Amino acid sequence: MDTLPNSPEARDIEYHMHPYTNARRHQEVGPMVLDRGEGVHVFDSAGNRYIEAMAGLWSVAVGFSEERLVEAAVQQMRKLPYSHSFAHRSHGPAIDLAEKLIQMAPVPMSKVFFTNSGSEANDTVMKLLWYRSNAMGQPQRKKIISRLRGYHGITIASGSLTGLPYNHKSFDLPLPGVLHVGCPHFWREGQEGESEEAFATRLAAELEETIQREGPDTIAAFIGEPVMGAGGVVVPPKGYWEKIQAVLKRHDIPLIADEVICGFGRTGRMFGSELYGIEPDIMVMSKQMTSSYLPMAAVMMNARIFEPIADETHRIGTFGHGFTASGHPVAAAVSMENIRIIEERGLVEQAARVGAHMQARLRALSDMTPVGEVRGVGMIAAVELVGDPVTKAPHGKPGTLGAALQAAMQDEGILVRALGDTVAVCPPLITTETQADEIVDAFHRAIPRVAAHMAQG
Ligand code: PMP
C-alpha cells in the first residue's frame, strides 16, 4: 500500500496489531480507516460513504449518531463516572438495568451478572457452572456441550466453547471437558433425501448419544446461539430447538442461550429464544445491549442456577469472581437508554417487517452463480458462495470468493463481512426498506463481478 509517512494508515501499520487480521497481509494492504458515522452510514477518512450492513460487528442497533446515547453517557459521566459493584456496593444504573433485563426475559429469571464483553460473559458462565456443581456436591459435573461452528468468544474458556478451527488452531484449544456436537446447518450437513425435521431428529439423537457416552452426571450444560452468527449465520432446521430441549430436559441438563447477536431485536423478536420457544436457564447478552457505543455484557440466570451458587458464596465468604468494570455506570446508563429507544421506536417490529422484505429479496440471489445458499431470519442473513453447486466445494482456496464479494460490495458502498465464503449481512435495526433495497441491489451487481472473476480462473 502507498501510504504517506505519518499518515494514519502508515502509523496503523507501524503500531497497531489488529484482532482477526492477517498481520503480514496488513503490512501490505493497510487499514480501512473510518472517520465518522451517521444513521446506518459510516464514512472513511477519504470521505467515502458506506452503508454499514454489518452494524459494526452485528451490534449497532440504533445507528451511528444517536444523540440520546451520547447524552445518557455525558449525564452519567458528570454524576458518577465510575463505581464498582464488589462487596455489596451498587449504583442506580446497574440496579435499573438488572431489573429491566429480568423484566424483559422471555422466561422467569433471577439475577443478572455484568461483564464487559461476550467472551467474559461466557467465561463467567463456565465458572458459574463449575462453581454450582461444586456447591451441589457434584464435582464431576463440569463438561459443557457446545456445537461445531458455534461462536461464544475468544478467551481461554469461551474460545474453547467456540467451535471454529481458527479459534483453536495454534492456541492449544479447546480445553478438555468442552465437547462439540454437530452444526444444525441443513443445506450443508443434511444427508441425501433427509427432511429438515429428520435432520433435526438426527442431531438430537447425536446429543443423546454424547450425553450417554460421557455420562449424564458429568454434563454441566449445553450452550447454543438461537441463530448461529459468526459461524456463518445458521438458522436452525424445523423442530431443532424443541428436540434438543427435550433431550436436555430428560437429563436435567441446564441450557444456555447465547443471545449476544440475537438479543434485542436482531431476529425480529426481542430475543432469539422467543422465536424458537427456547427456555434457557442462562441467557448471555452483549452487542446490541448498548448498541456497542460502550462495551458491556450480561449473564442472566434463573433461580436453579443462582441458588446453589449463592449458598456456596455464603460458605466461602464471597464470590471470588468479578471485573473492575462489572456493571459500569456509564455503560449501564447507555444500555438503559438504548433499550428505551428500541422499545419506543418499535425497532423490533421494524426489524421483523424490514427483515421479512430483505430476506425475501435476498432469496432471489439463490439462482445466481456462484451462490450456493441464501439464508437468514429477521435482520441477519448470509449469502454463501460455492465453486461447485453440486458438491458445494469452494472455488480454489477457501475464502477466495467470500473475499471477492466483500470487496465488490465495498466498491458498491456497502460494508458486509466475509466469513470464509459466506458473506454476512446484519444491518442496524433502524435500516429502512429503501436502505435494505440498496443493500440487495448492490448484491445483484456485485455477484456477477465475482462470477466473472471466477471464470477468468
Ligand atoms: N457470543 C456470540 C454469539 C458472539 O457473536 C460473540 C462475538 N461475536 C461473542 C459471544 C463474544 O463477544 P465479544 O467479542 O464481546 O467477546
pLDDT for 26: 98
- Output the ligand 1 site: residues, CB below 6 A: 57, 117-119, 122, 151-153, 225, 229-230, 258, 260-261, 286
**Residue boundaries of the structural domains of the chain:** 32-62+346-455, 69-344
Nearest 5°: the CA angle 455, 456, 457 is: 85
* C-alpha dihedral sign at 205, 207, 212, 217: negative
| 3-class secondary structure, 70 | helix
Whether omega before 93 lies within 30 degrees of 0, making that bond cis, reads no
- What pLDDT digit, counting tens, does each position of 384-409 carry? 999 999 999 999 999 999 999 999 99
ipTM value: 0.99
pLDDT for 5: 84
pLDDT for 456: 83
- What spacing in Å lies between the alpha carbon of 448 and ligand 1's midpoint? 33
Other residues' Cβ atoms within 10 Å of the Cβ of residue 13: 17
- Residue 5: partners with Cβ closer than 8 Å, 6 or more residues away: none
* Pocket-testing residue among 261, 291, 294, ligand 1, by greatest number of atoms within 8 A of Cβ: 261
Nearest CA-CA partner of 211 in 256, 250, 173: 250
192, 113 contact by CB (below 8 A) = no
CATH topology agreement for domains 32-62+346-455 and 69-344: no
- What spacing in Å lies between the alpha carbon of 157 and ligand 1's midpoint? 13
- What spacing in Å lies between the alpha carbon of 286 and ligand 1's midpoint? 8
Q: Per-10-residue mean pLDDT for the chain, 457 residues long?
A: 84 97 97 98 97 98 98 98 98 98 98 98 98 98 98 98 98 98 98 97 98 98 99 98 98 99 98 98 98 98 98 98 98 99 98 98 97 98 96 95 98 98 98 98 98 86
- What spacing in Å lies between the alpha carbon of 273 and ligand 1's midpoint? 17
**Matching CATH number, 32-62+346-455, of 3.90.1150.10, 3.40.30.10, 3.40.50.2300, 3.40.630.10:** 3.90.1150.10
Nearest atom within ligand 1 for CA of residue 155: 16
| 3-class secondary structure, 134 | helix
- What spacing in Å lies between the alpha carbon of 152 and ligand 1's midpoint? 5
Whether omega before 174 lies within 30 degrees of 0, making that bond cis, reads yes
Query: Into which CATH architecture does domain 69-344 fall?
Result: 3-Layer(aba) Sandwich (3.40)
